[in-house]
Amino acid sequence: MRLFLLGFLLTLISCGTASEEENTAMPRPKGFPLMEIPSHTYQTLEKGHPFSFELSHFAEVKKDTFARAEPHWMYIYYPRWDAFIQLTYKRVQGDRKRLDKMIRDSYVLASKHQMKANRIEDAVLTRMDGSKATIIELEGEVATPFQFFATDSTTHFLRGAVYLNTAMKNDSLAPVIRYLKQDAIHLIQTLQWK
């Protein structure tokens, strides 16, 4: 009889514990923010630079404020998402070694994200005028999911990187990243040297 009574009490206690666990409030998992993505519309970069291209109507051109910024370095800033495409421009000066160093530096800057990137892949993009540009895509929780550089091999070199100023996970930002990547590719395709 004692054994039966002990078993009955243990059953009641364990059932009470299970129902208490079921009634314990659990926080809801974080949801993904609603991202309103506008259609792509473009305008031409204002004059005064050794290059021109088309940029989004939803972006603002801002001067690069980095202490060592050179002339014609800029941010294509998207206030809607607090994101930007950073552009750095350098003259090649007909120096092949100088050009090779700029290309190497572009790859070094991309490789600095290896610790957080799941994948880094580069590809050659053929522009509308037949010239080539290099794009570098990075997957994972990286600050710059898309980078690129273009050159005419003798005079001009332009490097760009898409930056996201947020601590959100990049998978939830995928629509914004796709939008910025498409704008960056449009920039590359419409790039003209002066």
pTM score, whole prediction: 0.80
pLDDT category at 174 given cuts 50, 70, 90 is confident
Residue 41 pLDDT greater than 60, yes or no: yes
So what's the pLDDT on residue 11? Answer: 61
- Any idea where the domains of the chain sit in the sequence? 42-193
* CA 150/CA 182 separation, integer angstroms: 16
Q: Is 120 exposed, middle or buried (0-12, 13-18, 19+ CB in 10 A)?
A: middle
Across all residues in the chain, what is the average pLDDT? 87
Summarize pLDDT for 46-79 with one digit per residue, the tens. 999 999 999 999 999 999 999 999 999 999 999 9
Nearest Cα neighbor of 136 from 74, 128, 145, 127 is 145
So what's the pLDDT on residue 12? Answer: 56
| Mean pLDDT of the region 158-187 | 87
* CA 138/CA 146 separation, integer angstroms: 6
- Please tell me the CATH code under which domain 42-193 is placed: 3.40.1000
Higher pLDDT, 158 or 18: 158
So what's the pLDDT on residue 36? Answer: 78
pLDDT category at 166 given cuts 50, 70, 90 is confident
